Amino acid sequence: MRRLAAMLLVFIASAASAQFKERIDVVRILLDIRVIDAKGNALPDLTPADFEITIGGKRAEVESVEWVDESGGAADFSPPESDGGLKPAAPQERAGRLIVIFVQTDFAREAFRVGGQMGFMTYADKLIDSFAPDDRIAVMQFDSHLKLRLDFTSDREPVRAALRETLLINKPPEPPIVPSPSLAARLDREDMRHAPDSERGLIVLGNALRSIPGPKTILLFGWGLGRFGSDGVKMTRHYEAARRTLDAARATIFAIDIPNASYHSLQVGLQQAAADTGGLYVKAYPFPALAVDLLQRTLAGHYEIELRRPDDLKVGMHALNVRVKRRNNAYILAPATYTDRR
């Protein structure tokens, strides 16, 4: 009898062990990407079958695709369980976007940089007017260090005033207290004062945004990133940390190159920051109205794509590749990498 009981215990333990070994943990990844045509118009009608995505060269299964209309409404293009079709669900209530305008004000007061910043303000007003009423906007400035001009607000007049104040190099007053989420409540003032370049300023901003759920848009009104040397423009050693921090915060950079110059060396850094985070680079000079129009169309909406992480993906940073099948005119704005943090 004892022998039979012992055999039963061994059998039960073996079965439990087998069940444990056969268990597979499925990890899902959420990506924010944009797909536009050659004119910058958003393409909102794509389904899971249209996307082919690899992470570190390994295929990731697309489980659902949701088009988020950032001028109002959202449609879910996930396949319903009933018939496997791809029919958009009823529009969901849209939450306003969180937008941070990050302005680089040239501390050296180079005429072509400051002149470009001054001239772009009228067109910045047009861009602000195109935002949805429930979008919330914050204004940050970098000159000698990082400054907060305005916390998140849906009131457009303070945004316009704060943008004009970025032409000054002074100490801004503490912004009014705002409902959650508050950027001021999350920013480390010591880190802001000790951020001597824009790259480290972006690290501080990214750390503040990480605890706020959902995607964020950074509009970088700038004159450049990186450093120019004998071998061309190189990103600073702090850029990689900035990129990783913004990735963790689900923050995308849309870089607006504002100096009065058809070309300048540090625009390369703006282009790289936009490309790495899944955003867009536009040059304001000499046609700022066209640049703003392109940006408005691109910002009309984005896809939230849920993926099944490849089972054998290792911890760390991996190249991310997104392809849209059967659409030759599709241009994809997606992060350049995915970091598995587990």
Where are the chain's structural domains? Answer: 28-70+302-340, 98-298
Q: Using CA atoms, how far apart are residues 57 and 266, in angstroms rounded to an integer?
A: 31
State the fold for domain 98-298. Rossmann fold (3.40.50)
CB 333, CB 303: distance < 8 Å: no
Residue 93: predicted pLDDT:
55
Nearest to 303 by CA among 83, 136, 130, 88: 88
pLDDT digits (tens, 9 = 90+) for 61-84: 999 999 999 975 434 444 444 344
> How does pLDDT run across 282-304, given as a tens digit for each residue?
999 999 999 999 999 999 999 99
The span from the CA of 101 to the CA of 135, in Å, is: 13
Check pLDDT > 70 for residue 279. yes
Q: What share of the chain is helix, strand, coil (3-state, %, to 5)?
A: 30, 30, 40
Query: What was the pLDDT predicted at 285?
Result: 97
Name the pLDDT band for 88 (thresholds 50, 70, 90): very low
Q: What is the DSSP letter of 68?
A: E
Question: Which of 246, 316, 311 is closest to 274 using CA atoms?
Answer: 246
Lowest mean pLDDT across 54-58, 274-278, 338-342: 338-342
User: What's the pLDDT score for residue 8?
Assistant: 47
Which residues on adjacent β-strands are paired with residue 256? 221, 282
Domain 28-70+302-340 sits in CATH at 2.60.40
pTM for this prediction? 0.87
Rounded Cα gap, residues 43 and 52, in angstroms = 16
